[in-house]
Amino acid sequence: CPSSPKPPASPSEKCGLLNVTKITEHGKKVRKNWTSSWTVLQGSSLLFTKNQAGGTSWFGGGQSKPEFTVDLRGGSVEWASKDKSSKKHVMEVKTRQGTELLIQSDNDGLVNEWYQALQDTISTHAWE
């Protein structure tokens, strides 16, 4: 996916560099820690790895383990309210497991694409 010159094979495969922070884990508030993460949407999972230079060998290379994965089934995505962050173009993703993430990029087109893709994924997998 990262090095592919073609568009992703299906709408539920997408990757890119986004700013991410957890705000809640197992239903408990945690301290924000914004990090630039290589983000991959694969099936109903959203995977994050640290932004290691280049990022072309996310799967193939040696550094390929995701640091953090969330299951989007039964979750939700919405635009974050102003009180959640002072940043622009912030989405809030909530999972059934009680994790809440903020996902952001200054590139609004990019964030809009991700918003759409996450919504599509969540509705596609709504009955699982």
Instruction: Give contact residues for ligand I3S (rule: CB under 6 A).
Output: 31-32, 34, 85-87
Q: Assign residue 11 a region: left if phi > 0, alpha if psi is -120 to 50, beta otherwise?
A: alpha
Alpha helices by DSSP H, listed for 5-127, are: 108-124
Nearer to ligand I3S, 15 or 20 (CB): 20
Give min distance, CB of 32 to ligand I3S, in A.
3
Q: Which is nearer to ligand I3S, 27 or 62 (CB)?
A: 27
Shortest Å, Cβ 33 to ligand I3S = 7
CB 88 within 8 A of CB 94: no
CB of 34 to ligand I3S, least distance (A): 5
For residue 20, the minimal CB distance to ligand I3S (Å) is 11
β-bridge pairing 76-79 and 35-42: unpaired
Q: Give me 84's structure tokens.
A: 């959640």
CA distances from 60 to 3, 19, 39, 69 (A): 10, 23, 15, 18
Pick the closer one to ligand I3S by CB: 12 or 21: 21
Please say which residue, 10 or 86, places its beta carbon nearer to ligand I3S. Answer: 86
